[in-house]
């Protein structure tokens, strides 16, 4: 767990209604006060969380798609880029671009 996550956890562990100071908690954990307050108030998320939230498919859906593609490949039917885009579009219930397929292939 990073320092910022530990600081947020410490704030959330306090009894409801108990007064605290973002400045003192930030000094204790060695983090920026503004970042701590934004993260605690859920105004700002971590870069990793932001990246996951911006993806068309969840990590679980992507893994399922990878398993499906590997199954097709084992049967001698490797899917084309268009087929991958169509599969992903059906799962996401949204249109998927060709550049998404390129990034998906690079990730997996």
**CA dist., res. 101 & res. 84, Å (int):** 7
pLDDT band at 2 (very low <50, low <70, confident <90, very high): confident
**CA dist., res. 86 & res. 101, Å (int):** 10
Residue 1 has pLDDT above 70, yes or no: no
How many residues are given for the chain?
108
CB contact at 8 A, 65 and 59: no
Helices (H), the chain: 3-13, 22-29, 33-40, 47-54, 59-74, 81-92, 98-107
At 48-81, the pLDDT tens digits run: 666 666 678 888 998 999 999 999 999 999 999 9
Q: What is the pLDDT of residue 96?
A: 86
């Amino acid at each position: 767990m990073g320092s910022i996550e530990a600081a947020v956890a410490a704030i959330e562990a306090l009894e409801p209604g108990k007064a605290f100071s973002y400045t003192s908690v930030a000094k204790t954990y060695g983090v920026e006060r503004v970042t701590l307050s934004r993260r605690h108030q859920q105004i700002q998320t971590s870069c990793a969380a932001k990246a996951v939230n911006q993806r068309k498919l969840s990590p679980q859906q992507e893994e399922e798609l990878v398993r499906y593609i590997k199954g097709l490949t084992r049967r001698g039917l490797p899917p084309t880029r268009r087929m991958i885009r169509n599969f992903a579009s059906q799962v996401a219930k949204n249109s998927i671009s060709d550049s998404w397929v390129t990034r998906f292939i690079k990730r997996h």
